[in-house]
Amino acid sequence: MKRFLTVIAVLAIGFQAVLGQSLIQKAESFRIDVLPVYNTYFSASGLTQGNQLKLDALVSYARMSGEGRKAVMNNLTESWQESLVVVQYGTVKELWGYDSNSREAVLIDSWDTDPRPVIVGAPQSLSNTELHPWFFYIGSAQRIDSDKNINGALSARAGVFLLMDKWDIAATLSEQISGNFESEDVSLQTSIGVMTKVYYPITKHNFSPFAGAEAAVSFVKGSKATFTPSFLVGMSWFVGSGSLDVGVRAGSSTSLMVGFTVIPKSR
């Protein structure tokens, strides 16, 4: 009987070791393949002593509403169903699970590990960078027809978010060229202006439609400066450390612009 119990104990220990090793490998795969998609909200991942997935959240996650956090966790927990998920930001921890019937994340519990009482009227101190992240963008567009006519543009802008993920303002600079490869008659136009955009985040899919306007002054060699207002509509897809942007600028002319906005991460 003792031999039988010993065999059972050895098998149980071996099974737990194999299971633990499997979870370690899956957690590492999650960190490499899945976490970068959500690095706007989380900075690191790992396993707790109880083999639960642990995520270190950024300020952007902490500032989200409950519905916003649930939308993020709905997608994330679909990629990790091996155990419960512990999300930590500051001294606050959240315990999330996945309901396979509703195919949604479930917030099981939330608690603050800091036993000190909260002082009413003492707001959390955030830096200006955290409150109003800055960004820069570069994009281009070009078109060449069968008659070798060319129209192209290169644009750049730098600015700040007045409301995180909702409203920004930026200084803009663009160069537009038009002409023909076989002709020396090439026109170069330089524009300097101010642009503002309002975003409509779809957090669940990391997309954000936007609409905005730009007021610019354009200069063409040999001509007077002209005021060129324009309107913008498009879509931003948040990947990595920024967003891939596709939009249409409509004013004195209409152009399709494709570019990338870099938003340095803030904790």
Contacts of 20 (CB under 8 A, 6+ apart): 51
**Percentage of the chain modeled with pLDDT above 70:** 79
Q: Is 43 exposed, middle or buried (0-12, 13-18, 19+ CB in 10 A)?
A: middle
* 3-class secondary structure, 26: helix
Indicate the pLDDT class of residue 129, thresholds 50, 70 and 90. Answer: low
Q: What's the rounded Cα separation, in Å, for the pair 235 and 82?
A: 34
Listed range (53-57, 80-84, 99-103, 129-133) with the worst mean pLDDT = 129-133
- Tell me the residue length of the chain: 267
pLDDT at 3: 52
Inter-residue contact 187 to 178 (CB < 8 Å): yes
User: CA 104, CA 48: separation in Å to the nearest integer?
Assistant: 23
Cα separation, 115 vs 96, whole angstroms: 22
Which tens digit of pLDDT belongs to each residue from 78-127? 888 888 999 999 889 999 998 888 888 999 998 888 766 554 444 454 55
- Categorize the per-residue pLDDT at 4 as very low, low, confident or very high, splitting at 50, 70 and 90: very low
> What pLDDT, on a 0 to 100 scale, did the predictor assign at position 56?
94
Measured distance CA(95)–CA(106) in Å, rounded? 9
